[in-house]
Amino acid sequence: MSSSDQKPISAAALQPETWTASSNDALKLFVTNEDEAINFRPVFTYPIFGDAETIYGYKDLCIFLCFDHYTFKPFLNVKFAEKLDDSDLIDIKETMMKYLPQDTIYKDEIRWVDSIKDEKEKYEIPGEKVDSFKADNLTYEIYKINLKLAQGLELHKRLQVLVLLYIEAGSFIDAEDELWDVYVLYERVEGESEPSVAGFATAYNYWRYPGSAKFDAGETEVRMKISQFIILPMYQGKGLGQAFYTHLYSYWLTKSDVVEIVVEDPNEAFDDMRDRADLKKLAETDLGFDLSKVVANNIDKVWVDETRKKLKLEKRQFSRLLEMVLLYKLKHHLGNISKPDVRKFIKTRLYKKNKEGLDGLEENDRKDKLQTAYQALEEDYFRILGDVKLGLNKRKVEAGEDQHGNNNNNNSNSSKKKKVNGV
């Protein structure tokens, strides 16, 4: 074949890196008010641009996605120096608009600013304020958004793209399903009329059969499952995530129909935050949680079950909290407690949880597996406990344990003897 028959090779094929951009770098996120625009970065863009998180065919690509701090109305603009003449290139505007509400303003920034001003003339947060708290001399308010209102549904549509950008494997909820709740956290600065969106959470009301008597009487029971939980990057590092979760938890404690509070597929960071928040919550006297009853020997199972239900915690989470309290006591030398007792207490749960797999092993292999699992869990618990303070008084703890007849010296010594040949 002669050279004249060969198709010319494009410059793009010779230098693909020039025309390839990281979608994580190309996407520029901003939250704006009248005074400033705060830039923040996405963590993930693969739900929008594919697993490789790259965009091909554009040089010096910038995708600007801006939100008003109060209404969260979005503005999208796409800029680039050059674009390849290739029909296979993705249309960035079209791709982004699949995940943004229809009222997103494209390219015309002046029109966006004017539309925000027009909207704010009558805008009110479309929901009910359910709680508020102070942090660093600022006020934070939690609103339960009314998704039956057009404005409430629209606000959620504006927020939901953050789920894709900040939650791994995150996906949109069906906000028209009446069992979904959306809670938005606002920061309110004294002297300013408009609060700023600081984060949001979604939770699903799973119906649970309450028993025939309650069902016949028309009473309902739900398991409140936290599905998505986001604090905007510029508000992170201030303890707001823990405060937001704690106040949502306290709000649900007041609801008679909510019988259990659970979390759907939490990541490690959320798990850590939740554990520390729950531990601190247990130490609050108004919950009536008796920390002195948390013992390694002969723990009152009736008390455990009644207390867990009162606190509306799932079994796994409450068991973890009890184990962390035991290690906390051990760490701070509170009460008549020994490490072998704590180790046996935790291993018992681990064995029950993994009984089917462990029973198929030889005895020594089973012990090794349990010991390895225990050591990893103990290390993780101490990491989570960190500098957590539960406000326990040594004399009070010991008096409480003696009063309840749990974990006295005889029981503890007996346990130590058994541990020599036990797991």
Quickly tell me which residue has 């462990």 as its tokens. Answer: 358
In the three-class reduction of DSSP (H, G, I as helix; E, B as strand; rest coil), residue 45 is classed as coil
- Token pair in block for residue 174: 């069906």
Kindly write down the DSSP assignment for every residue of 349-382, as one continuous string.
HHHHHTHHHHTTS-HHHHHHHHHHHHHHHHHHHH
To the question of whether residue 267 is assigned a binding role by annotation, the answer is: yes
195/124 Cα distance (integer angstroms): 11
> Is the dihedral angle over the CA atoms 100, 104, 109, 114 positive or is it negative?
negative
Whole-number Cα distances in Å, 121 to 59, 114, 124, 185, 202 = 40, 11, 9, 22, 28
> Is the dihedral angle over the CA atoms 259, 264, 268, 273 positive or is it negative?
negative
To the question of whether residue 173 is assigned a binding role by annotation, the answer is: no
132/183 Cα distance (integer angstroms): 12
Q: Please confirm, yes or no, whether 192 is among the known catalytic residues.
A: no
To the question of whether residue 230 is assigned a binding role by annotation, the answer is: yes
Q: Are 44 and 164 in contact (CB under 8 A)?
A: yes
Strand segments, DSSP code E, in 107-195 are 127-135, 138-145, 180-188
Q: What are the residues whose beta carbons fall under 8 Å from the beta carbon of 353, sequence distance 6 or more?
A: none
- Token pair in block for residue 95: 């791709």
Q: Are 62 and 28 in contact (CB under 8 A)?
A: yes
Q: What are the residues whose beta carbons fall under 8 Å from the beta carbon of 156, sequence distance 6 or more?
A: 145, 147, 175, 182
**Which contiguous run of DSSP H or E holds residue 114?**
helix 109-120
Active-site annotation holder among 264, 284, 306, 379: 264
Strand segments, DSSP code E, in 242-388 are 258-263
**Which contiguous run of DSSP H or E holds residue 4?**
none
To the question of whether residue 276 is assigned a binding role by annotation, the answer is: yes
Q: Are 152 and 126 in contact (CB under 8 A)?
A: yes
Quickly tell me which residue has 């479309």 as its tokens. Answer: 126
User: By CB neighbour count within 10 A (0-12 exposed, 13-18 middle, 19+ buried), where does 95 fall?
Assistant: middle
Query: Which positions make up the binding site?
Result: 229-231, 267, 276
Query: Which positions make up the binding site for acetyl-CoA?
Result: 229-231, 267, 276
Which sequence positions are flagged as catalytic?
264
